[in-house]
Amino acid sequence: MDRPDSQRAIAAGALNDEISFGTEYVQPNTQATGQVTSFTMSQTVTVQSSRLTAMQRVLGVSNLLLANNVPFIAQQPQYTFND
């Protein structure tokens, strides 16, 4: 049985307090006639962690999505360094 994305990310190395999932939005894609031909789902995922090495596996989940033909848009990682 397939695991939800949240479980995949946690299994990849993220702790519960390091990853958050936003609301899922589903929008119909229609033709000019109004016929629904497909749907687009979107969701925001935020990963925040000081464990940079551990997060490499989590960020690698995007490669798994691409390998399964799941299109997505990702923002570049943002790094904040603290002394």
Assigned domain for 11 exists: yes
Q: What percent of the chain has pLDDT over 70?
A: 83
- pTM tops 0.85, yes or no: no
- Residue 19's CB: how many other CB atoms inside 10 A? 20
- Report residue 9's pLDDT band, with 50, 70 and 90 as the boundaries: low
Domain count, the chain: 1
pLDDT for 8: 57
pLDDT for 61: 76
pLDDT for 5: 57
Q: What is the pLDDT of residues 28-78, one digit of tens each?
A: 999 999 999 999 888 887 888 888 777 777 777 777 777 888 777 777 777
Query: Which residues, including other chains, have CB under 8 Å from residue 36's CB and lie 6 or more apart?
Result: 28, 29, 30
pLDDT for 70: 76
Structural domain that includes position 47: 5-67
Both tokens of residue 59? 């960020």
Task: Tell me whether strands 25-30 and 36-42 are parallel, antiparallel or unpaired.
Answer: antiparallel
Assigned domain for 77 exists: no
In the chain, the amino acid numbered 22 is G
